[in-house]
């Protein structure tokens, strides 16, 4: 499939999706299409529902209302076996690296390969070397997560996410907790992998530098609703007050600073 044909195809489609937790609306009537081959960024404040949206897209949780279609198939209507098959074509990096501390780098990356394939150990070792090279960590096979830096752990998570040659990779806060230079390295890696491996990337972040560095399209969510979707240029020039406040990091604006999820009353000792 050529890149052009690929772009025209919606690989993930959310229609009127809502999700409630303990009576609270966390995702509120969301409509989104993610196209094959693009890098789609979801930005928004802490607690706005970004990780939940990602979990809905990966089929980790099901919507309470509306439909989520993965590659044209409604996840509510397919069997769990079929969903597992679809999910094998995804890679995922988690908000808190989620490497197993008791396993070394090689064993961490081997997990999906051992779980989902019948490949011989020698082949698995070769694949791991290739993936580590792609993230610039060749030679780190024997290291344990506690022996490498946060940025390196994120890269190992990335190598694990691409172990099964996925069509789509979901990244939850890939640069959080990293200094701007290391964050920039991760951004470049995400972009390079998308292009080299023709991966569709869905990236959740509130790192404004990353947003504009990597996105083909950006959506901002606030309180579980999509505020706007557009190209980086559209978002930079947006007149929407939520977007302006978010990208400028301003305390004044329509985004409620005294949000219960960050307990600002306590922080400011009011």
Ligand X SMILES: Nc1ncnc2c1ncn2[C@@H]1O[C@H](COP(=O)(O)OP(=O)(O)OP(=O)(O)O)[C@@H](O)[C@H]1O
Residues that bind Mg ion (CB under 5 A): 51
Total site size for ligand X, rule CB under 6 A: 14
Give least dist CB 136 to ligand X, A: 26
DSSP codes, 153-165:
HHHHHHHHHTTT-
Distance, in Å, from the CA atom of 64 to the CA atom of 61, rounded to the nearest integer, reads: 9
Of these partners, ligand X, Mg ion, none, which one is at the site of residue 48 (CB under 5 to 8 Å by kind)? ligand X
For residue 35, count other CB atoms closer than 10 A to its CB. Answer: 17
> Which of ligand X, Mg ion, none sits in contact with 19, Cβ below 5 to 8 A by type?
none
- How far is residue 220's CA from residue 206's CA, in Å, rounded to a whole number? 10
Residue 130 · residue 169 · CB < 8 Å: no
First to last CA, the chain: 59
52 interface partner picked from ligand X, Mg ion, none, CB below 5 to 8 A per type: ligand X
Compute and round to an integer the Cα radius of gyration of the chain.
Answer: 19
Q: Indicate whether 49 belongs to the interface with ligand X (CB under 6 A).
A: yes
The nearer residue to ligand X, 17 or 128, going by C-beta atoms, is 17
Instruction: Tell me which of Mg ion, ligand X, none is bound by residue 150, counting a contact when its beta carbon lies within the kind-specific cut-off of 5 to 8 angstroms.
Output: none
Per DSSP (E only), the strands in 78-167 are 90-93
Q: Does 258 bind ligand X (CB under 6 A)?
A: no
From Mg ion, ligand X, none, which one binds at residue 25 (CB under 5 to 8 Å depending on kind)? Answer: none
Q: Is 18 in the site for ligand X (CB under 6 A)?
A: no
199's tokens: 């991966």
Q: Where is 40: in which H helix or E strand?
A: strand 39-43
* Contact call for residues 245 and 219 (beta carbons, < 8 A): no
Minimum distance from residue 107 beta carbon to ligand X (Å): 28
Which window, 49-57, 79-87, 124-132, 243-251, contacts ligand X (CB under 6 A)?
A: 49-57
* Sole binder of ligand X in the list 11, 26, 32, 110 (CB under 6 A): 26
| Residue 58 interacts with ligand X (CB under 6 A): yes or no | no
Strand partners, 229: 219
Report in angstroms the alpha-carbon separations of 150 from 95, 123, 236. Answer: 12, 28, 30
Structure token digits, residue 245: 């406040």
Q: Which does 2 bind (CB under 5 to 8 A by kind): Mg ion, ligand X, none?
A: none
Choosing from 37, 44, 63, 157, the residue that interacts with ligand X (CB under 6 A) is 44
| Residue 51 near ligand X by CB under 6 A | yes
Kindly tell me which of 104 and 219 has the beta carbon lying closer to ligand X: 219
The dihedral formed by the CA atoms of 23, 21, 65 and 168, expressed in degrees to the nearest 10: 170
Do residues 134 and 162 make contact, with C-beta atoms less than 8 angstroms apart? yes
Give the whole-angstrom CA distance, residue 44 versus residue 57.
Answer: 17
Which 140-199 positions form the footprint of ligand X (CB under 6 A)? Answer: none
Candidates 52, 104, 194, 245: give the one binding ligand X (CB under 6 A). 52
Q: Which stretch binds ligand X (CB under 6 A): 20-28, 85-93, 236-244, 249-257?
A: 20-28
Note the residues at the interface with ligand X (CB under 6 A): 21-22, 26, 44, 46-52, 95, 206, 261
């Amino acid at each position: 499939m050529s890149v052009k044909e690929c772009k025209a195809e919606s690989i993930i489609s959310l229609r009127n999706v809502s999700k409630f937790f303990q009576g609270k609306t966390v995702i509120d009537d969301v409509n989104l299409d993610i196209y094959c081959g693009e890098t789609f960024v979801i930005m928004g404040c802490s607690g706005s529902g970004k990780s939940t949206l990602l979990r809905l897209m990966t089929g980790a949780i099901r919507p309470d209302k509306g439909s989520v279609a993965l590659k044209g198939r409604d996840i509510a209507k397919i069997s769990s076996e079929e969903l597992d098959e679809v999910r094998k074509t995804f890679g995922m990096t988690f908000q808190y690296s989620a490497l197993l501390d008791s396993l070394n780098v090689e064993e961490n990356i081997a997990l999906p390969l051992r779980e989902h394939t019948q490949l011989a150990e020698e082949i698995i070792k070769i694949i791991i070397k290739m993936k580590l090279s792609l993230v610039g960590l060749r030679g780190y096979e024997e290291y344990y997560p506690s022996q490498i830096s946060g940025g390196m752990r994120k890269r190992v998570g990335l190598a694990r996410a691409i172990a099964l040659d996925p069509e789509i990779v979901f990244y939850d806060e890939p640069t959080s907790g990293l200094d701007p230079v290391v964050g920039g390295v991760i951004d470049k890696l995400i972009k390079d992998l998308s292009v080299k491996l023709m991966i569709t990337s869905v990236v959740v972040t509130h790192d404004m530098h990353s947003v504009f560095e990597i996105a083909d399209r950006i959506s901002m969510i606030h309180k579980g609703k999509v505020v706007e979707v557009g190209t980086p240029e559209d978002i930079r020039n947006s007149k929407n007050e939520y977007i302006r406040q978010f990208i400028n990091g301003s305390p004044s604006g329509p985004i409620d600073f005294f949000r219960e999820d960050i307990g600002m009353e306590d922080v400011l000792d009011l």
